[in-house]
Amino acid sequence: MAKYAMDMVLEYAKVFEENRDMGNDDNDTGRKIASHGGQFVTNAYFTDEAQIEKLISDGMKEVNLGYPRVKEGNADYGIGKYVKIGRYFEDVKVFKDKQGNPKEMDFGGQPTIINLTNGVENKSIWSFSDDGELGNGTVAKVQFEVYRNGAGLRLLAIAVQEHVPFESGSSEDDEYFTV
């Protein structure tokens, strides 16, 4: 598994216990996410075309499950191209060790979120309750790995450099539609 750390811009960051994607019963993908207790996921926008070229030259598959791995997105974020990077809440795999004994490894759980907004010398663990959710346009160094012969991407950590506060999509008219 190859590990990378890249400067990226985040969109739809659901990377905390409090806001992870819990899946649903609407389709196979939603059911799979729900069966793993949810997922931590974000659209991570590249800031340089060379980042994409590096991943592809190192073996990341350009197409995954029939869809392009790198997608066109919001031109206001980075270079307008992104990959969806995530990890399941629960993701236990069973392997055999060198002696042939089964060994469990959990590849899931919340990724580490670091607050670098006050500089590296003042870094701390990001607090969802004190620091808030990560809004669209947040700039961060994103650590992830490429695995399964280039077909998989797994989020490892996020170091927030420039925080954009999350803005709810609600409006004043929403009060008419809630009881």
> Domains plus CATH for the chain?
2-167 (2.40.50)
Q: What is the distance between the alpha carbons of residues 77 and 138, in angstroms, rounded to a whole number? A: 9
Percent of the chain whose predicted confidence (pLDDT) is above 70: 94
Beta strands at 112-115 and 152-162: parallel, antiparallel or unpaired: parallel
**Region 88-114 average pLDDT:** 91
Q: With 90 as the cut, is the pLDDT of residue 168 above it?
A: no
Tokens, residue 18: 């409090």
Tokens, residue 158: 């996020």
Distances (CA, A) of 60 to 3, 42, 105, 121, 145: 12, 18, 23, 34, 10
Tokens, residue 101: 């004994």
Is the pTM for the entire model greater than 0.85? yes
- H/E stretch holding 140 reads strand 138-147
10 band by pLDDT with thresholds 50, 70 and 90: very high
171 band by pLDDT with thresholds 50, 70 and 90: low
